[in-house]
Structure 1
């Protein structure tokens, strides 16, 4: 069963949790965990044995929750709890999770991935004004600001959908350019290197 199938099953589990009306019903559902087989997708991240994909119990308090990303066998959930933006790193193999408070900026895009050099899970928070990008590392358990390079200066919008591949997080974005004196918005791929913590933009062909 490939990663996207596992992702769909977990999304169904999340939807099921929030349809429940009482704690008693919730506990009954959680006492019957779904068993799925996580098969290695080529990077050795996922175990081949059967594991329980029962979600962390405190996620019952989350709302507007989604799967932000999957990297090196870790899932990252994003949502709200008690009025705060929260992210959760979850390792289904060892049934451990860590919750992180995300900076509360308007229209912030958040990305998730694992640094291939240090195996350190990271979050990157990109505010709408792009002025103060922050990075969270699990090893430090803290957010810190980073200096952004020129690749981020022309970006005008970033989609929430992301993918983490080969040590980088990728988003579909739009940047501003000038053609014959006119402002033109172009489709680009924005990447964030999880090791160097630098942004790069890749322009897409006009035919895409």
Structure 2
């Protein structure tokens, strides 16, 4: 792109192009022809965004670690400039990562969501209307990017005291900044409890859920999905082992795959069994490995994510009030210390992206 065109105008031109043409142009540009502020984005590097509370002054911090294949990991670590809208967000809040390099932070207390691009150091606020979180009513939220349009979307599901979805399903689309009611022909069972945990894989949002069995008891596990392109719901049936486990079940998204983590206490020791859904086929889950170990850095506390190399990122209890993040290689069982914190550590994998480049920073 010509150096005679002002940088701001270049941003506007790129943002107005069709998605396919935009991707072609960005991929074909040489590093020298891209504005300096966007040069690193052309390479689509993988990073880990780590959120933790400093053990000394209890300050909440974010750092970015280049997720390289080399032995230099995790030496390339830099502090992240956090937008003021994120700093001002009341805790507790939920953060969801996206395959398109965006994160979305939800605060029920603030009735607000913040869509954040760490690569561009840019965030956009979104008001969450008609939010409920009490004994009478509850709101479930999800976030992701549409596969076809690359438009960020927030889905809001409102449930009443009977734990059904008659309260409605609404979708916010960033390009229009409008909330609209969504009709889905395959809304999941009205007797399902959604968990707060969710992941996004390939433009589909997944929630862990608990169905009501027979006469009315809540029992078992299943996964409810929402496709951000078709805006249709679906259900992912788990294999019997996971559907009826009495252990703690959670989900993680390594390398654009849906992974279920089964945390159990076996022989007085906490172990984690890692299962991956094969080829996107429901009920076809394969056990990858089990993590059960003590290390010089502490005892296993939880799995926080995965590197692109397949190493698990685990939280270790170093001593009563200190936890540390480590990279665990499941086959050699070697472990590498990354850092320490006072409270829980959260890890989000993201790639550099130009999404939000054309967005004004205003409150919806």
* Counterpart in the other structure of 1:36: 64
2:59 to 12, 16, 34: 16
- In 2, Cα distance between equivalents of 1:205 and 1:98: 39
The answer as to whether partners of 1:151 and 1:201 remain within 8 angstroms in 2 is: no
- In 2, Cα distance between equivalents of 1:40 and 1:139: 33
Distance 1:161 1:170, change over 3 A: same
Distance 1:74 1:12, change over 3 A: farther
| Superposition pairs of residues 48-197 of structure 1, within 5 angstroms | 53-71=80-98, 72-79=100-107, 84-103=110-129, 104-106=131-133, 107-129=138-160, 130-131=165-166, 132-178=168-214, 182-183=215-216, 185-197=219-231
Larger RCO, structure (CA 8 Å, separation 6 or more):
2
* Counterpart in the other structure of 1:20: none
Distance 1:152 1:64, change over 3 A: same
With normalisation by structure 1, the TM-score equals 0.73
Shift of 1:205: 2.5
SS of alignment partner, residue 123 of structure 1? strand
Higher-Rg member (1/2)? 2
Q: Which runs of 5+ in 1 are unaligned?
A: 18-32, 42-48
Shift of 1:68: 2.5
* Count of aligned pairs between the two proteins: 177
* Counterpart in the other structure of 1:201: 235
1:112-140, Cα deviation, whole Å (9 max, x unpaired): 11111111111111112312111011011
- In 2, Cα distance between equivalents of 1:141 and 1:12: 33
- In 1, Cα distance between equivalents of 2:211 and 2:216: 10
The answer as to whether partners of 1:176 and 1:183 remain within 8 angstroms in 2 is: yes
The answer as to whether partners of 1:10 and 1:53 remain within 8 angstroms in 2 is: no
**Larger relative helix fraction:** 1
The answer as to whether partners of 1:68 and 1:112 remain within 8 angstroms in 2 is: no
Distance 1:34 1:111, change over 3 A: closer
- In 2, Cα distance between equivalents of 1:76 and 1:142: 17
The answer as to whether partners of 2:105 and 2:114 remain within 8 angstroms in 1 is: yes
The answer as to whether partners of 1:11 and 1:66 remain within 8 angstroms in 2 is: no
The answer as to whether partners of 1:110 and 1:124 remain within 8 angstroms in 2 is: yes
Q: Which runs of 5+ in 2 are unaligned?
A: 1-44, 70-75, 243-364
The answer as to whether partners of 1:113 and 1:194 remain within 8 angstroms in 2 is: yes
Q: Could you say what the CA RMSD is over the residues aligned between the two structures, in angstroms?
A: 2.9
